[in-house]
Structure 1
Amino acid sequence: MSQELDSIDARILDLIQHDASLSVAEIAERVGLSSSPCWRRIKRMEEAGFIKGRVTLIDNHALGLNFEVIASVKLALPSKENLEAFEALVQLWPEVVECMTVTGAVDYSMHIVTTDMHAYDNFLRDKLLGSKLVSDVQSRIVIRVAKKTTALPLGLVRQSAKSSD
């Protein structure tokens, strides 16, 4: 797939992943194109699935969502049915902002955001442990975030595209 992107496409992606509010005209100017060809490139990348959507990033602390936890979750019985049932439940829990199946001693790693420790305790008791699918949860409270980005390392994509030529 990376061969379908040229350096201008990669620059467009880099611009919009850092600021999705840029207009097509602003993006076009920054990458050295006129608006129409730039818009066509963006549409092509959307249709190809390179661009999944555009969102507004919100500061959780400004909203009073100051308590973040990284939870390692082990299912009681990690069968296909239980994995699917747990993943369906996770979709219903707004406190879970990210959930990943992982390798190792646990089945999932979850990033949970809530207001305080008491709200997390309620989430843990009522939702996670209340599901009866979970046998163990190891909670790690986030003290400080040293880096947080949604930007992908597009320089690696360009490097791999060049090396495959």
Structure 2
Amino acid sequence: MLDDVDRRILRQFQAAPDVSIAELADRCSLTTASCWRRLEKLESSGVILGQEVVVDWQALGFAVEVSLRITLDKTQTTAFDEFLAKARTVPEVLEIQTFLGRVDVRLLVIARDMTHYQEVYRSRILSLPHIADIEALMHVARIKSQEALPV
């Protein structure tokens, strides 16, 4: 399990993942070697899964974000697998989540504008297999978006 030093490393690393190991060690009051070993241990144990670049899709001209709640026709045993396989191929789908309950799947879809969204919706989303019902929620504002975990 994580100790206080590991938590301190994770807090600092989440706040500034692009700092050097030496700077991270300094922020955590550790030696560079000790900090590096602990980071390696956190990675090898699966606590740190990796680093990624976050691209602001709005800066690339995408202005529309829609959350689609989808209920699947589950009369066929392969409905989930077939739907998910096809949904993964739609470039404008940024996120796919599955649920237990009335809604089976949520897709996060982006588009350049409403015309582009309608094109994506009609040609790519509605052609996905086994859809019984869709509810579209148009994104208005992002109030909180946080990747860092409270460690």
TM-score over 0.5 for the pair = yes
The residue aligned with 2:116 is 119
CA RMSD of aligned residues (A): 1.6
Is residue 35 of structure 2 the alignment partner of residue 34 of structure 1?
Answer: no
After TM superposition, the runs of 4+ consecutive aligned structure 1 residues lying more than 3 A away are: none
* Paired position in structure 1 for 2:81: 84
* Aligned residue number for residue 65 of structure 1: 62
Between the aligned residues of both structures, percent identity stands at: 32
The alpha-carbon deviation at position 79 of structure 1 amounts to 4.9
Secondary structure of the corresponding residue to residue 78 of structure 2: helix
Matches of 1:9 and 1:114, distance apart in 2: 40
Residue matched to 2:147? 150
Counterpart position of 1:157: none
Alpha-carbon shift at residue 71 of structure 1 (Å): 1.0
What SS is found at the alignment partner of 2:127?
helix
Question: Could you tell me which residue of structure 2 aligns to residue 106 of structure 1?
Answer: 103
| Residue 19 to residue 113, structure 1, CA distance change in 2 (3 Å) | farther
TM-score when normalising by structure 1: 0.83
Q: Distance in 1 between matches of 2:42 and 2:66?
A: 34
Q: CA–CA distance in 1 between the matches of 2:149 and 2:75? A: 31
Deviation at 1:103, TM superposition (A): 2.5
Query: Is the Cα–Cα contact under 8 Å of residues 67 and 142 in structure 1 kept in the other structure?
Result: yes
Q: Mark the runs of 5 or more structure 2 residues left unpaired by the alignment.
A: none
- From 50, 53, 75, the equivalent of 1:53 is 50
Equivalent pair of 2:69/2:104 in contact (CA under 8 Å): yes
Question: When you count helix as a share of all residues, which structure comes out higher?
Answer: 1
2:25 partner letter: A
Q: How many pairs align?
A: 151
Q: What residue ranges of structure 1 are gaps of 5+ in the alignment? A: 155-165
